Amino acid sequence: MAVLNELLEYQKVDAELRKIEQELAASEERKKYIQAKKFMESAGEKLEAQDKRARELKKLFEKLAEEFEEIGKTIAEYADLDEMVENGGDIAFYKKSVQSLADRLRAMKGELAKLAADIEAASEEYKRMKKQTISMQKQYKEYSEKFKEVKSSRAAEVKEITARLEKLGAKIPPEILERYQAKRRDKIFPVVAPLTGGRCICGMDFALAQQGALSGGGVIECEHCHRFIYKA
């Protein structure tokens, strides 16, 4: 029973610390800081994706430019078509070749239009990304300082509560205190909760044999949420 009472008193003071932590976490300064921080952490990947897309567009442009040049050379070969026909050239073959070139030029026109649209879209995305990056850099710097100021404004309270917790924690067996703190780090709170109607606050049912183990100040761990459960 003594250990249970010490745990409950420790948790009562710990709730004061948790309240401050929640208030800091919910502050506008922290939200803005975290938003900018996450953006900056992913900015490298986004910029690499932009570079990759730019390389792909450049490669496609070079390929089309090379093909266009080859078609130009082929068309130039038909400059003396009359002479070629007079020298026995197959006019049907030439017509087929010209038609093939014309079809390819039409296809290239569509490809170039799409490429131009893709390049424009990539350019706009780069401008947007650049503008957003500059904005987030400013926000990160500004709200990093603001959040530090907010935390500093609560530092005295945190220090006082922490000192009380250390004093109370000295009365609790180290292995139990460590288990409590581990659960706390896992965002479990309250860590110590009463059994109500044969159930944990998470809704887990406790068998009668388990409930019997809680007599006289006993504490067991909920198999579902891992809280320390006691009988009020």
Name the average pLDDT for the chain.
87
DSSP letter at 202 equals T
Task: Decide if pLDDT at 222 tops 80.
Answer: yes
Rounded to two decimals, what is the model's pTM?
A: 0.69
- Residue 188 in tokens: 């479990």
pLDDT digits (tens, 9 = 90+) for 74-103: 766 665 655 555 555 556 665 677 678 778
Calpha distance 232→227 (Å, rounded): 15
Nearest to 219 by CA among 4, 11, 2: 4
pLDDT digits (tens, 9 = 90+) for 92-141: 665 677 678 778 777 888 888 888 888 888 888 888 888 998 999 999 99
pLDDT digits (tens, 9 = 90+) for 133-188: 899 999 999 999 999 999 999 999 999 999 999 999 999 999 999 999 999 999 99
DSSP letter at 207 equals -
CB proximity list for 221: less than 8 A, separation 6 or greater: 227, 228, 229
Range list of β-strands (E), the chain: 192-194, 220-221, 228-230
